[in-house]
Chain A
Amino acid sequence: MGKSHIRHLLAGAALAVGATLALGQSAWAADIKIGFITPLSGPIASQGIPFSKGMAAGQKYVSEVNGRKIEFIQLDDASDPSQTARNARKLIDEDKVDVIVGTGGVPGAMALASIASEAKLPLVSFTPLFLSGDKAAWSVTTAQPASLMIDAVVDHMKKDGVKTIGYIGFSDSWGDLAYNTLLKSAEGAGMEVVTNERYARSDTSVTGQALKIVAAGPDAVIGGTAGTPGALPYLALADRGYQGAIYGTHGIINPDFIRVAGASAEGLLAPTGPVVVADQLPDSHPSKVVAAEFAAAYEAANGEAPKDAFSAYAFDAWKVIADAAARVPADMEPGTPEYRAALRDAIFETKDLPVTHGVLTFKPGSPYGADDRAAVMVKLENGNWVLQ
């Protein structure tokens, strides 16, 4: 190895060391700290930004428990699971957070779950988590299990006499999840899924996929999609003159979806949490009051009325944490391993907590806490969601 090479290595190493020296900094506090990770940029930013607004609403709703302030530190993961993991370590290590909340996208949330059990602190997510047994010991989610939502759709289809279902979804983990759940659920109900068409969020046209579905001639079509990119299949199906029933998943409940899909999505049926149609719920529904509180807090925090279902999931996560933190002995000091464990135990003792998306009861062994009160079917009529 030559001398100049060594000099280069030295120069490189000096730069490297200099660049990282600024990194080591520590913080500690007696407040309850939530580490919040969400995609504020990248492909799933359109879900990540509402999550962020929902957390802000949560803070407006309840910002103190047992005389301790709850604060949250927000980091963007740019829709990249590696960045999610890096952020989580940063929050745990430098900010000494007591609980992690996040993130948009299943792979990122799964990465969080494994870090949570490794670092022994609770994770409250708002996306589906595929965990069971020991791996679920530290993680819960406020999202409904996909099966709960898809079952609601399939039940509705059965009532309408649907025999064959056409599926079109994203070519991503959400598209996979919706399809697999649908297969299982449809099989149980004696229906057949005749297509499995996929497209990317960034695609400009799904004419080919729509043609294939029309050629297969299913009684109903369901889209395993989310947000505005989810509008594309319905537009293409309408263009191709598809006449059958159209269904969606809870991922598309978002006003921008309605704006983009326009008339093509008229009559669309989708499952969702009760919060979306809170004003149409009977007064007896447990989510009715919470939804109103959520709307007020959201407006106070963000200066506008809530329009989507995503922010409500994040609000629910906040509510779960606040509820659990209230049950942690007041003399325990946040920022300690004991506090994290106690908070985890408290979260898994959550029982019949009314939230915007139904009622949550967490039990060890499963990350899900929702029951069938968390699913309602809504129909898009004249640009508004109408409770079925």
Chain B
Amino acid sequence: MNATSKNRLLLLVPVIALAAVPFVFGSFTVSLFNDIGMAALVVLGLVLLSGVGGVTSFGQAAFVGIAAYSSAWLNTHLGLSPWIGLPFALLVTTVSAVLIGILTLRLGGHYLPLSTIAWGLSVPLLFGNIATLGRHSGISGIAPISVGGWQFSSSEAVFYVIWILVGLVTVFSYRLLDSRMGRVIRAVRGGKVLLASFGADIFRVRLALFVLSAVFAAFSGWLYAHANRFVSPAPFSLHASIDYMFMMVVGGLGQLAGGIAGTTIVIALKSVLQDILPLFSTHAAQIQAVVFAILFILLLHHARGGVLSLASRFIGTRSGGGAPAAISGEPVEPLPRRALPAKGEVLLSVDGVSKHFKGLIAVNQVGFDVRAGEIVGLIGPNGAGKSTMFNLLTGTLNLTAGRIAFLGKDISGKSQRDIALMGMARTFQHVKLRPQMSILDNIALGAHARGRAGYLSGGFGFDAQEERRIRAEAMHQIERIGLAGREHELAGSMPLGTQRIIEIARALASDPVLLILDEPAAGLRKGEKQALGDLLGRLRAEGVTILIVEHDMDFVMKLVDRLVVMNFGTKLFEGAPQDARADKGVRAAYLGDAA
């Protein structure tokens, strides 16, 4: 029995303990567990959305409310069963989430949390003003969930419905985070440019996350309506949304298990305080909020990672990272590869490209080609317009004039993501790795566009075959850069040189037609430069086409077949490296500058 299956057996212990709860405790404790379970569903969604995805939401309770009211309305007005109410509630919530998400998820910075406060506040107010939803008194007399005439009306019966759902949602969330889309979700905080570089659209990922969290909340709302059997606006107020946020923070942002623990602790603590405080004061009810706030502040001060990090300190488990399941050794069919153009064919053709920034001409009428199988260096002193050129090539900036063709197609107006999907893979001058993800996961991100498993197949585990192929591809790249055996270490713990190499491996994992590197040698020590140079040399030998945009001329000289030298936004020289040294203009502008 290996460690994983032993741990899986250990996991049975809390499951069995949980299953025994209705037999051991009275109905109050059971209903408390029900409340915990229902809140945990919302918090799990919030962990994915805010904790992992970085989209702060102060409006989750509104989704709970939309679902609860939908199902309650259908049940009391049309007399339909809760089982019809469930898909209806999910539908209404999803549509609401899509609409709200499309409107607000493009907002950046502090605007997004504020907008969530806006609808988190507005939606429950709307409930109170709609006559058919019973206005502020809400809807009562909602039917309990029933199966074949047997009603889940007692809290003991609902308990199992709730916790089975919590279990399913938890397993779904874990699987999802471990899947192809899960890697992207974990990378969302890296920003739009990073996601586009391997062909993912940050807006769509955020929207999907947002809808997913709303769906989790909808399950909670549906359960709430049919377990409590009355709904009114108050439980879905902004205050409740803030409470969910607190539960997530107590659990430690971004940890699914922490989400459940945080929910349990917050709800149980409130109940315990309600029992204990009257022993000390006659103003117990008023003091409760104060004591709760103080405990919370202490937690923020001493365990910002939440109770889970606190618990880990004692239990000895490490939060984050850890060793995931070993990659099975059995061979898998490799991911399909792109048909590569014949050696010598023109891959990239830059023709009379200019870029103006408010009157400043950063790039002026530059043109050059890159052919399959060669390594081209684009160099120039600081301010030469290299970085602008790089951004124009990758679609990060739009060009003012000229034309860029890649694989014979005009890409001048195309988005960064489209260009990446065509087979142009890039690295970043300021390394964009996900420091809390393993090297393997970071590199597997590169192969994102080569897979097709979505959120649902990831969450339900239908993606095992493809996932093994992606991992095998990532392992292949790890071996290629010589990091085999270290694939489970965190990318953030690597030195800069290694991080640069990991970025190259990530780019290679996308099976690119053209690899374009943004100042790969910047900030590297001598030994690291050497290692990088060796790697690029090996890649050249393997026939990979590379465009290096670099400041360090010496580093490029030995590597490239051809050099393009820029200065003050214009092309100064194009030709063999040794000729560049001889060129007067280059010497004056570049070497003279370096001397």
> How far, in whole Å, are A24 and B31 apart by their CA atoms in the complex?
12
Report if B322 contacts A (CB, 8 A): yes
Alpha-carbon gap, A336 to B137, bound state (A) = 33
Instruction: Compute how far the CA of A7 lies from the CA of B141 in the bound complex, rounded to whole angstroms.
Output: 43
Candidates A3, A19, A26; contact of B322 at CB < 8 Å? A3
In the assembled complex, the CB of A28 is this many whole angstroms from the nearest CB of chain B, namely: 12
A1-29 vs B, Cβ < 8 Å mask (1 yes, 0 no): 11111111111111111011011101000
Among A2, A85, A93, A114, the residue within 8 A (CB) of B325 is A2
A175 pairs with B10, CB closer than 8 A:
no
In the complex, which residues 281-297 of chain B have their Cβ closer than 8 Å to any Cβ of chain A? 284-286, 288-289
Check B75 for interface membership: any CB of A closer than 8 A. Answer: no
Q: Smallest distance from the beta carbon of B459 to chain A beta carbons, Å? A: 12
Which of A60-68, A105-113, A182-190, A231-239 lies at the binding interface? A105-113
CA distance A184 to B251 in the complex (A): 52
User: Knowing A8-B308, A93-B27 touch, does A107 contact B7 (C-beta < 8 A)?
Assistant: no
A76 & B26 in contact (Cβ 8 Å cutoff): no
Q: Nearest-CB distance from A171 to chain B (Å)?
A: 6
Residue of A nearest to B33 (CB): A20
Shortest Cβ distance from residue A156 to the other chain B in the assembled complex, whole angstroms: 27
Known: A40-B285, A111-B228. A3 touches B28 (CB 8 A): no
Q: A76 to B178, alpha carbons, bound, how many Å?
A: 43
A13 adjacent to B257 (CB under 8 Å)? yes
List B residues 305-354 near A (Cβ within 8 Å). 307-308, 311-312, 315, 317-319, 321-325
With an 8 A cutoff between CB atoms, is A86 at the interface?
yes
Distance (whole angstroms) from the CB of B367 to the closest CB of chain A: 50
Interface size class of A (residues with CB under 8 A): 35 or more
CB pair B137 A8 closer than 8 Å? no
What does the 1/0 interface line of B51-78 toward A look like (CB < 8 Å)?
0000000000000000000000000000
Residues of A within 8 A of B258 (CB): 8, 12
Residues of A within 8 A of B261 (CB): 11-13, 15-16, 19
Q: Which secondary structure characterizes the binding site on chain B? A: helix
Q: Kindly state whether residue B265 has any CB partner on chain A within 8 Å.
A: yes
B588 contacts across to A, CB distance below 8 A: none
Contact of A90 among B135, B228, B271 (CB under 8 A): B271
B11 and A22 contact, CB distance less than 8 A: no
Q: Do B135 and A176 have beta carbons less than 8 Å apart? A: yes
**Residues of chain A lying within 8 A (CB to CB) of residue B274:** 75-76, 87
Which of B24, B232, B284 sits near A81, CB closer than 8 Å?
B232
A299 touches B (CB below 8 Å): no
> Could you tell me which residues of chain A, from 81 to 140, have a CB within 8 Å of some CB in chain B?
81-82, 85-87, 89-90, 92-94, 106-107, 110-111, 114, 118, 130, 135
Q: Which residue of B lies closest to A5 (CB)?
A: B174
**Which among A9, A135, A176 is the interface contact of B257 at CB below 8 angstroms?**
A9
Do B230 and A24 touch (CB < 8 A)? no
* Cβ contact within 8 Å between A15 and B285: no
From B4, B269, B271, residue with most partner A Cβ within 10 Å: B271
A173 lies within 8 A of chain B by Cβ: yes
In the complex, are the beta carbons of A76 and B288 less than 8 A apart? yes
Contacting residues, chain B, for A79 (C-beta < 8 A): 234
A89–B136 alpha-carbon span in the complex (Å) = 24
B407 within 8 Å of A (CB atoms): no
Name the distance in Å between A127's Cβ and chain B's nearest Cβ: 11
A177 within 8 A of B: yes
Residues B136 and A171 in contact, CB atoms below 8 Å apart = yes
Closest partner residue, chain A, to B230 (CB atom) = A111
In the assembled complex, the Cα of A23 lies from the Cα of B271 at a distance in Å of 8
CA distance A94 to B272 in the complex (A): 13
Residue A264 lies at the interface, judged by CB distance under 8 Å to chain B: no
B324 to A2, Cβ gap below 8 A? yes
Pick from A16, A107, A110, A171: contact of B260, CB under 8 Å: A16
Q: Contacting B317 at CB < 8 Å: which of A7, A78, A90, A171?
A: A7
CA distance A90 to B278 in the complex (A): 15
Q: Size class of B's contact patch?
A: 35 or more
- Nearest opposing residue in chain A for B239, CB measure: A80
Q: A155: CB under 8 A from chain B? A: no
Q: Are A15 and B128 in contact (CB under 8 A)?
A: no
Nearest residue, chain B, Cβ from A171? B128
Query: In the assembly, what is the distance between CA of A298 and CA of B284, in Å?
Result: 21
Interface residues of B in 1-48 (CB under 8 A from A): 3-4, 7-8, 10-11, 13-14, 17-18, 24-29, 31-33, 35-36
Answer yes or no: B129 CB below 8 A from chain A CBs: yes
**A15 touches which one: B24, B32, B307 (CB < 8 A)?**
B307
B389-416, CB < 8 A from A: none
Closest residue on chain B to residue A177 by CB atoms: B137
Chain A residues within an 8 Å CB radius of B529: none
Please tell me if the beta carbons of B324 and A15 are within 8 angstroms of each other in the complex. no
Does B264 reach chain A (CB closer than 8 Å)?
Answer: yes
Of the residues B8, B175, B259, contact of A6 by C-beta under 8 Å: B8
**Chain A residues, CB < 8 A from B322:** 2-4, 7
Q: Is B170 an interface residue (CB 8 A)?
A: yes
- In the bound assembly, the distance between CA atoms of A89 and B26 in angstroms comes to 9
Q: Is A172 an interface residue (CB 8 A)?
A: yes
Nearest CB in chain A: distance from B218 CB, A: 17
Name the distance in Å between A260's Cβ and chain B's nearest Cβ.
Answer: 21
Q: Contact between B235 and A80 (Cβ–Cβ < 8 Å)?
A: yes
In the complex, residue of chain A having the shortest beta-carbon distance to the beta carbon of B324: A2
Is there a chain B Cβ closer than 8 Å to A41's Cβ?
Answer: yes
Task: Select one of A6, A74, A78, A94 contacting B7, CB under 8 A.
Answer: A6
Q: Assuming A110-B137, A114-B229, is B285 touching A20 (CB within 8 A)?
A: no
Which of these, A4, A12, A24, A89, contacts B324 with CB under 8 Å?
A4
Bound complex: CA A10 to CA B13 (Å)? 9
Provide the residues of chain B in CB contact with A20, threshold 8 Å. Answer: 29, 32-33, 36, 264, 268
**Residue of A at shortest CB range from B140?**
A110
A82 proximity list for chain B (CB < 8 A): 35, 228, 234-235
Q: Given that A3-B323, A6-B11, A15-B265 are known contacts, is A93 also in contact with B26, CB under 8 Å in the complex?
A: yes
CB-CB under 8 A from A3, the residues of chain B are: 3-4, 7, 322-325
Quick check: B268 and A114 within 8 Å, CB to CB? no
Q: Which residues of the other chain, A, contact B284 by a CB distance below 8 angstroms?
A: 76
Interface centre among A1, A8, A85, A135 (most CB of B within 10 A): A8
B255 adjacent to chain A (CB < 8 Å): yes
Contacts known (A2-B325, A86-B32); A118 close to B137, Cβ less than 8 A:
no
Shortest B85–chain A CB gap in Å is 18
- Say how far A184's CB is from chain B's closest CB, in angstroms: 15
* Also in contact, A17 and B317, with CB within 8 A (given A22-B272, A110-B140): no
Residues of B with C-beta under 8 A to A10: 7, 10-11, 14, 257, 317
Question: Which chain B residues lie closer than 8 Å to A40 at the CB level?
Answer: 285-286
Bound CA–CA A175/B171 (angstroms): 45
With the chains together, A130 CA to B322 CA distance in Å? 57
Question: Which B residues lie within 8 Å of A107 (CB)?
Answer: 136-138, 230, 232, 234
A37 to B468, CA, bound (A): 57
B365, CB-defined interface residue at 8 Å: no
The complex places the Cα of A11 from the Cα of B26 at a distance, in Å, of 25
A196 to B128, CA, bound (A): 15
A175 to chain B, nearest CB (A): 7
Is residue B104 contacting chain A, with contact meaning CB distance below 8 A?
no
In Å, the complex CA distance between A3 and B11 comes to 11
Q: Taking the nearest CB of chain B, how far is it from the CB of A84, in angstroms?
A: 10
Is B153 an interface position by the 8 A CB rule?
yes
A172 to chain B minimum Cβ distance, whole angstroms, is 5
Expressed in whole angstroms, the Cα–Cα distance for A51 and B138 within the complex equals 24
Chain A residue numbers with a CB within 8 Å of B36 are 16, 20
Closest 6 CB pairs of A and B: A4-B322, A12-B257, A76-B285, A40-B285, A13-B14, A93-B28
Question: Beyond the given A10-B7, A171-B125, A171-B136, could you list 19 further A-B residue pairs with CB under 8 A, ordered by the A residue number?
Answer: A1-B174, A1-B178, A2-B323, A3-B322, A4-B322, A5-B256, A6-B8, A11-B312, A20-B29, A20-B32, A41-B285, A76-B274, A76-B288, A80-B235, A89-B155, A90-B28, A93-B26, A107-B138, A174-B136
* A-B CB contact pairs (8 Å), 6 listed: A8-B258, A16-B264, A80-B235, A85-B31, A106-B137, A114-B230
